[in-house]
Structure 1
């Protein structure tokens, strides 16, 4: 006689197999939508790193076809499962790349026509004959040209991108809304690229190379013949001339997101430029052109600003007309700068609505302590914080940890106060904090190992308090050389670092 547990399992299985096909189809689609989307892969310098991005989540529809013949039938007849395909081609898979591209053909045949998305990342750490992949990938894009909505081809050898350029120029891509192309070198972008000019639905364009950004290698935007007037997103990774950037931006009234890198090249003051819809701006530039370029812009919808300054002299936002116009409306700010000539507290006074802050500048414990005392009243809306920290040899790690703990505790669980000032300010509760420790890993390990017994116990107590905040719901990471030192609850700090 079957046990109650076995009977219950059989009954549950019966319910699963009796689900109507249209209901099962909807469940499968919702499961696919619920999966965390894979990050667009970047160029990997070796096969092992490349294989790390070959996540199984994007093969989810294939797994559904292996459960049973009925599930296979339902999955294959559900177009929404097959609309987007993501593939990684590596040197290790070179013998199977044609087979992989054949799988893509099988996949896209079943997708929603006019909504297909193809995302192919190539990882080739050394030169090789890629003419076969170029032809296969070109034929694949040819075949589905009228039905593609998104084309993302990253880490491409130049020969592949040149083939894709020809494909784009000689086919009708009436439904393409987003295109992301990454070449091996800037050579491809140094010639006329007009394949995208006539695409009627194109809204988002991202162009880049695997090369490291150099001051002397310019991406001439005049060689791009894009439908500028209809673009909402535009990204270019290599440096461009500031004056040419402004000329291009004047042709883009619909822009909502821009990512550019500007070379250190002087240019005359330009007429002001208003982009009414631009809400997200990312710039990598040299301070010499920073203020002249930014002061030209008027962005009434801007809320997300990401600025990376590559060198000295330091930028003073309080002297910037752009900052005075836009600081009060910022909700997200990411700032990478070698130094700031004024105290952060004076800058924070101008950012009352900022809820997400990323600072990529090495903060010493002294500066971190200033954070603990000043950040609460000056950033009342702050909920997400990302900091890079470092401490010199003459500063105790224990004191550094205690200052961080004091700040986190204050903002995570604000204590009740009776003062009118607190009632009016009511700082927001921290939800996510990421600390990237730039201190030399070996130096920190030596300090932890060399602690006497009482200091080691005190250190572990402080870390336990920080972990308690993590347990209480704070999304908290403290990384040293890519390792989160708060992950383990049982191992002592010294052994964690030795591992």
Structure 2
């Protein structure tokens, strides 16, 4: 008998844990090698032993190959048996007994859940259908494509539900335009006759002033794909398409777009605005259009009040336009009398004067300015305004907001939400504006500009036990910047507006949320003193960005010294 055959004689052992695979099974131990003594003692084999060892190795390798062939067949059989078991288990699964109409409702609910988690409320936030969604490229792992990956029945049900396919959202990359067009065609074919929602956002990784003719043609093909279905458009959201690609609308855009409710067209500022906006001039025959979002109206030859207006301003309720002047804003507001929410980005001077405009329906007004807006504040009146947000470009020149307090006073005391971002206001002008907003409930100030709105004087005016306190109904305060006051003035204000142990029995606090981001040094003791108001039910958050930790104690100490001299209080540490 050969040495390998001798080594193959196996001895049975009880079931135990295998040291190689860590599983419990019966081990069959091989008879030890006849050359074990040479291996253990690391001896040099003789010539005859060397020949025997080589023969043993060859026979062992042959035995390994034979046993691996014998193992492969059971392994394949195990795989087949598992597949068979899963198939028979699937037949008994309760989901197979669900009627198709119930399965369709499940699909719709799952698709709505995915859209909900990807939804971001835009600045209108009025509970209407005009909500933006974060774009994600269609994937086999998400609805609705995932439903076609389970079984033939699921695929048939998914294809029979047009409402799963009437919302088309694509992140367009210049190198994959064929895929984008193919996906768009797929969704259109499966959407039946339902109204269509489009979101096409072109991703620009390396901005260039030169756009190739081929790229323009690709986006024209994408527009041609959706244009035959224009009568079913309900919402169209296009971003960063090459300006020249919109020329295709001149020939193919129908005279009437009867169900369109929202149009959003945003593009690179280096493009020519007229090339983008002029082809949409036919939308004055869009009787249901309510939302218009155009990143630039400069050079669009906008006509309001004429025989052929570029857009149906008189029927719009939500307007968001940029690259305009204060004069353009007044012209639009004078015509768009049904608007309830408007947002403008003013970048150009106003060449002309404008008669006063009183807009009795406007409730939300947001302004981002990089140019003079005095004409707007001096001519506009909004008696029902409840939300006012003003933002200055951080790197723009120091542009004054003169006239804003008079605009607020002229409009009336109805403003409940006020946001001031990167303003050049000083504390006196800021308090003058707050004086005209006695019904204010939510206040947001971002001190990213040259002005400092919040000082100790402002905190003192907000303290409710002071003479004639400002904004007595304040519920929420957000402040970012916070470089011009001492933390003690904040403490006094919070003590007057939060129900503490020392508050009168009939005191009902209105302040609920305070968020402060401080771009200067603050001691840990001062921070702890502010955070103590949490135990009184105030939702407070304080973030401190200390750029020079070595001066942290000194800055707070100087605050404490100045306040001690003014008010006769104890030292900072004793107070905390």
Work out whether the TM-score is over 0.5. yes
Cα contact 1:114–1:148 (8 A) shared by 2: no
Aligned to 1:205: 292
Query: What pairs with 1:406-425 in structure 2 (closer than 5 Å)?
Result: 414-415=499-500, 417-419=502-504, 423=507
Cα contact 1:379–1:427 (8 A) shared by 2: no
2:111 to 32, 36, 48: 32
Aligned to 1:237: 322
Does the C-alpha gap of structure 1 residues 178 and 352 become closer, same or farther in structure 2, counting only changes over 3 Å? same
1:424-478 residue CA offsets vs partner (Å, 9 max, x unmatched): x632312x74x556x4xxxx7xx89xxxxxx7xx47x9479859959x9959585
| Rounded Cα–Cα distance in structure 1 between residues aligned with 2:118 and 2:203 | 20
1:76-135 residue CA offsets vs partner (Å, 9 max, x unmatched): 3233322212111124xx1x2211221122123333634210000012333343134223
Q: Are residue 175 (structure 1) and residue 255 (structure 2) matched?
A: no
Does the C-alpha gap of structure 1 residues 228 and 419 become closer, same or farther in structure 2, counting only changes over 3 Å? same
> How far apart are 1:180 and its partner, in Å?
0.8
Cα contact 1:98–1:136 (8 A) shared by 2: no
Cα contact 1:114–1:146 (8 A) shared by 2: no
| Rounded Cα–Cα distance in structure 1 between residues aligned with 2:489 and 2:142 | 45
1:369-394 residue CA offsets vs partner (Å, 9 max, x unmatched): 556555464344444443321549xx
| Rounded Cα–Cα distance in structure 2 between residues aligned with 1:167 and 1:404 | 62
Cα contact 2:194–2:232 (8 A) shared by 1: yes
> How far apart are 1:251 and its partner, in Å?
2.4
Aligned to 2:442: 356
Aligned to 2:32: none
Aligned to 1:426: 509
> How far apart are 1:38 and its partner, in Å?
4.0
State the TM-score, normalizing by the size of structure 1: 0.69
State the TM-score, normalizing by the size of structure 2: 0.61
Q: Secondary structure at the match of 2:285?
A: coil
Q: Secondary structure at the match of 2:149?
A: coil
Cα contact 1:380–1:428 (8 A) shared by 2: no
Does the C-alpha gap of structure 1 residues 164 and 181 become closer, same or farther in structure 2, counting only changes over 3 Å? farther
Cα contact 1:333–1:356 (8 A) shared by 2: yes
Aligned to 2:229: 144
Runs of 5+ in structure 2 lacking a partner? 1-88, 123-133, 465-469, 547-576
Q: Secondary structure at the match of 1:102?
A: helix
| Rounded Cα–Cα distance in structure 1 between residues aligned with 2:300 and 2:229 | 30
> How far apart are 1:187 and its partner, in Å?
1.7
Aligned to 1:62: 145
Q: Secondary structure at the match of 1:229?
A: helix
Aligned to 1:497: none
Cα contact 1:365–1:391 (8 A) shared by 2: yes
Aligned to 1:494: none
> How far apart are 1:141 and its partner, in Å?
1.7
| Rounded Cα–Cα distance in structure 2 between residues aligned with 1:353 and 1:475 | 22
Runs of 5+ in structure 1 lacking a partner? 1-9, 42-51, 449-454, 482-499
| Rounded Cα–Cα distance in structure 2 between residues aligned with 1:87 and 1:165 | 24
Aligned-residue CA RMSD (Å): 4.3
| Rounded Cα–Cα distance in structure 1 between residues aligned with 2:137 and 2:538 | 28
Indicate the structure (1 or 2) with the bigger Cα radius of gyration: 2
Aligned to 1:281: 365
Aligned to 2:340: 256
1:325 to 410, 421, 442: 410
Q: Are residue 159 (structure 1) and residue 251 (structure 2) matched?
A: no
Aligned to 2:481: 389
| Rounded Cα–Cα distance in structure 1 between residues aligned with 2:460 and 2:494 | 12
Aligned to 2:303: 222
